[in-house]
Structure 1
């Protein structure tokens, strides 16, 4: 009898807890599917906001925000396209405020804007599409950095890295752009998938790719409890150059030793490459030109150094062009014709050409976008360490 009373009491307690849990949950609205990609490459985006007065859809493939229509359930929607297959950032503008898509787990890692990502597949798989090939691994690493802070890295190791403990690999240090994070090359640039596919096709050599965070000052501020510093006024300003030097010191004094201690790397200049997009491209050039004994492969995506900075800081690069040409197995420069840095990048290439510094270039359509950056990575990855 006593056992039945105890059982009954426990049952009542469980029912009470379940009831309270159900009451404490927020009301659930209808299921929102967004984005929804149709066979004809049109895409429907939806956002639930019953109280909103206006919702617009904004994406990198649209020239201007597009008005969305609300249904009786309070769900706003719009169908756009057909859209050219690729990965694009997008967001909603709700009563003037930009927000991510809460129905979509794929997002654009960035310090400032928070966009979602939509991946429009091609009729034949694009180079960044997941395929049935051997896959490498992606690891998040933390290392002792400047001013007593802890730095963060994303590291790609190629397929088979864990199977042969005696094999060593070349390393590509790959830096993202202004306001991007160490995750952007991974989550938006799809570096790991691109390398997996190229390696499987025999088009790229197996390599380790190290993706650092480029804004050292912001990390120091965050970990020391201070306000995040504003971005420098101008890519060639004294502050921008000083920050690039801080990044260079961190990369050379902290990141390289950490990677070479913890990964099976081939530790000579012919097995080290450095590359970057936008601000990361400027950091690449400044770091490489100051450490010509450390890197034989230099990849500059949508970035440049002005003739003025070259003349004030990097005269040995062009005054002894034949030596530079011997030191660098690859010097690559890419930019899009609609890129806001196109004119300055062409000026940089013209300067190098006039000084007889050899480089390979790729000028594409399009602007300062991660759609173009994946193209540049794909092309250069096939040239590295060969």
Structure 2
């Protein structure tokens, strides 16, 4: 009997050890992603029954240097490797510091990384994200510096006939000081919303770090929702959990620009901001660049700083009786705007951006008026990698 008990105990111990060896490789033991010492990424997934797992992300073309030509979407999925315990892994090449996004494709189904709690939504898609290094010399990281405050704010827009939501950043010290601050109105692209610049653009981290380093003036940053027919981002308005869309009704038809004074009136009533042209800036990416230039053209005494990041610009908007008055008499509006001598019109675009023709038309309109704008052409296409960099560059030039 004693021999049997001893044998059973030994057998049980061996089984437990073997089981523990397997469990160590199961889902609870996996950490993903891992940023390695050489700035490569290791992505892992426990999926013992999957027949094929691939990794797709905006780092798969990238080594330490960005290729001369690329656009988001120019990467092909890479097959991950499966071990005998059912764990799939892939380690990338060493990467340049940047804010990266990725997905896993499991037997043809695209998913986020179940071991990575950090995700973003871009239009109707969700992505797992990670930060390698700090990105643009560390500006994208949360550092031990004084931090500003981010609020989600509702305001009344009589022009739109809606109460609408926007994101407002106030710099560190705003709550305890009595000073008034300059204000940057920062606009998102098509399919985005009031959350885009904060979540995808790292605007909060960029401003916190630039201000702390003395490279940017403390400022209030207002990030409105450019979809004028919508109250707020999907799931944040009275319509509930609606499906996100690329294009909403009344998109780029003049209604947003027409309603923009509602935003300025609210901000200048509620926040301690300076209320003159010299202390107002407007900037935006893609559709937000479109909104920025047309808002400025129709309000030539309002903004001294205009930032156009991969901006859409419809040169044909000056023709046609059915168009909004916002888009008519564009030549005269450019003439008026340039005569008002804004301190800075800053333009940035990637050399592979599909809006390069719009960029050429925009610059031609300014060249016609002999206005000396600032211009930056970078690698790449229509991508957040560029827009984050443009914001970091533009913000350092404001209100000085």
TM band (smaller chain) = 0.7 to 0.9
Q: Is 2:174 the partner of 1:161?
A: yes
Instruction: Tell me the residue number matched to 1:67.
Output: 79
Native 8 Å contact 2:164 2:230 kept in 1: no
Equivalent residues, number = 351
1:253-306 residue CA offsets vs partner (Å, 9 max, x unmatched): 2x2222222211112222111111111111111222122232221111001313
What is the rounded CA distance, in whole Å, between the counterparts of 1:52 and 1:370 in structure 2? 32
Native 8 Å contact 2:190 2:247 kept in 1: no
Structure number with greater CO (CA < 8 Å, separation at least 6) is 2
Instruction: Tell me the residue number matched to 2:345.
Output: 331
Secondary structure of residue in 2 paired with 1:367: coil
Q: Which runs of 5+ in 2 are unaligned?
A: 1-25, 61-74, 321-326
Q: Which runs of 5+ in 1 are unaligned?
A: 1-27
Which moves more between the two structures, 66-75 or 168-177?
Answer: 66-75
Offset at residue 188 of structure 1 (A): 2.3
Write 1 or 2 for the structure with the bigger share of helix: 1
1:300-342 residue CA offsets vs partner (Å, 9 max, x unmatched): 1001313322566353655763752434221111101122222
Q: Is 2:292 the partner of 1:284?
A: yes
CA RMSD of aligned residues (A): 2.8
Which moves more between the two structures, 176-185 or 218-227?
Answer: 218-227
Q: Is 2:354 the partner of 1:340?
A: yes
- Which residue of the other structure, out of 93, 98, 102, is the alignment partner of 2:105? 93
What is the rounded CA distance, in whole Å, between the counterparts of 1:209 and 1:319 in structure 2? 26
Instruction: Tell me the residue number matched to 1:7.
Output: none
Which moves more between the two structures, 32-41 or 179-188?
Answer: 179-188
Native 8 Å contact 1:58 1:91 kept in 2: yes
**Normalising by structure 1, what TM-score?**
0.82
**Normalising by structure 2, what TM-score?**
0.79
Instruction: Tell me the residue number matched to 1:359.
Output: 373
Native 8 Å contact 1:336 1:364 kept in 2: yes
Secondary structure of residue in 2 paired with 1:46: strand
- Which residue of the other structure, out of 301, 306, 327, is the alignment partner of 1:293? 301
Native 8 Å contact 2:97 2:133 kept in 1: yes
Instruction: Tell me the residue number matched to 2:45.
Output: 47
Cα gap change, 1:211 to 1:60, in 2 (>3 Å): same
What is the rounded CA distance, in whole Å, between the counterparts of 1:56 and 1:119 in structure 2? 21
Runs of 4+ more than 6 Å apart: none
Secondary structure of residue in 1 paired with 2:283: strand
Secondary structure of residue in 2 paired with 1:289: helix
Cα gap change, 1:142 to 1:218, in 2 (>3 Å): closer
- Which residue of the other structure, out of 256, 272, 282, is the alignment partner of 1:247? 256
